[in-house]
Amino acid sequence: MARTSTTWLEIDQVHCGDAPALIEQIAPESIALSVWSPPYHVGKKYEEENTFGDWQQLLQKTIAAHHRVLKKGGFLVVNIADIQCFKDESIPKIQAPNVALLKSPVTREDVLRAKEEHPDYNRYQLAALLKCSEQTIDRRLNGNNIRGGKYSTQTRVQLVGHFIDRFAYDAGLYLYDRRIWVKDPTWANSQWHSNSYRSVSEYEDLYVFWKPGETIVDRNRLESREWSTWGSRQVWQFPSVRTNDDHEAKFPLELPRRFIRLLTAEGDTVLDCFMGSGTTAIAALLEGRHFIGIDITPEYVQLARKGIAKALGDVKAQLF
């Protein structure tokens, strides 16, 4: 039996549930733009049980579901850091002593000399003798300065943009553009000191996919200054969210706002199927668009609803 129009997901609402399943409940060809950032598979609480295979499957199903709901000529924007880390049992333990962080002056030679003088001592007794921790004894003897801890599974670093491109292509969506969001490198969550030579993340990729159909190009959606400074520019630079106190992975309002202004018209509907704290919905409403939000975590659904209500209240207060 065909679904009637009254049973489609309501617009201007945040819905709780699994993204691919709920996208199937959106009216066909009703979304002008879908813009979202998927779970990053970096140990956040809401994804800690997922494997990399689970992550790939989630993205594949979510992207595949978009072809039916996007308008002809509509767009899907995926915001993601292209380099991802995930646990991999096959990766060798990475030994990385950081000399700047060594807190004990005890050397390997000190430990070997103590062992020779006290051959019956275990590492706890050697630690007491040398006035250091037993972990220091273990590290000096076995060289196991393992990144993340000697008992932890190591992480594998991999580029993931090609997965997203393939999933979209298989779904009948085509790479239209790629923009770069340059963040401030000294943002609050950066970890400057670690046991590696890896750089601090300073940018994220914004992949733009297109559903075949007529796409209206209207530069008048932007002011001339906006068009010249960011509308026609590949590299966007604006600060990240400094305080993730209520959600672990916020993106700034400016990110969805720019795509909404650039790629949609007033009255269009914008989808965010990983709604989080509600940023995309707020940007859509502020720009005179409708939205549909989806999130699998009830706590974040409530958070998004509260944030949206507050934003609307602030707008009304300014008007009256």
**Cβ distance 269 to 260 under 8 Å?**
no
Q: Give the span between the Cα atoms of 295 and 47, in whole angstroms.
A: 13
List the beta bridge partners of residue 209: 76, 175
Which is nearest to 52 in space by CA: 76, 88, 16, 106? 88
Q: Mind spelling out the 3-state secondary structure of the chain? A: CCCCHHHCCCCCEEEECCHHHHHCCCCCCCEEEEEECCCCCCCCHHHCCCCHHHHHHHHHHHHHHHHHHEEEEEEEEEEECCEEEEECCCCCCCECCCHHHCCCCCCHHHHHHHHHHCCCCCHHHHHHHHCCCHHHHHHHHHCCCECCCCCCCCEEEEECHHHHHHHHHHCCCEEEEEEEEECCCCCCCCCCCCCCCCCCCCEEEEEEEECCCCCCCCHHHCCHHHHHHHHCCCEEECCCCCCCCCCCCCCCCHHHHHHHHHHCCCCCEEEECCCCCCHHHHHHHHCCCEEEEEECCHHHHHHHHHHHHHHHHHHHHHHC
Q: What is the CATH number of domain 99-142?
A: 1.10.10
Q: What is the CATH number of domain 5-85+159-319?
A: 3.40.50.150
Q: Which amino acid is at 41?
A: H
Q: Give the span between the Cα atoms of 224 and 50, in whole angstroms.
A: 45
Cα 107 → chain centroid: 42
Q: Give the span between the Cα atoms of 299 and 291, in whole angstroms.
A: 19
Task: Write the CB contacts of 11 (distance below 8 Å, at least 6 apart in sequence).
Answer: 269, 290, 291, 292
Q: Write down the pLDDT at residue 195.
A: 59
Q: Write down the pLDDT at residue 188.
A: 47
Q: Domains of the chain: which residue ranges?
A: 5-85+159-319, 99-142
Q: Which amino acid is at 3?
A: R
Which is nearest to 305 in space by CA: 317, 289, 320, 291? 291
pTM listed for this prediction: 0.78
Q: Write down the pLDDT at residue 59.
A: 96
**Cβ distance 98 to 176 under 8 Å?**
no
* Residue keyed to tokens 């979304």: 31
Q: Give the span between the Cα atoms of 293 and 288, in whole angstroms.
A: 16
Per-10-residue mean pLDDT, the chain, length 320 = 68 96 97 93 57 90 98 97 76 63 80 94 92 84 59 74 96 98 66 63 93 95 96 94 55 94 97 94 94 94 91 60
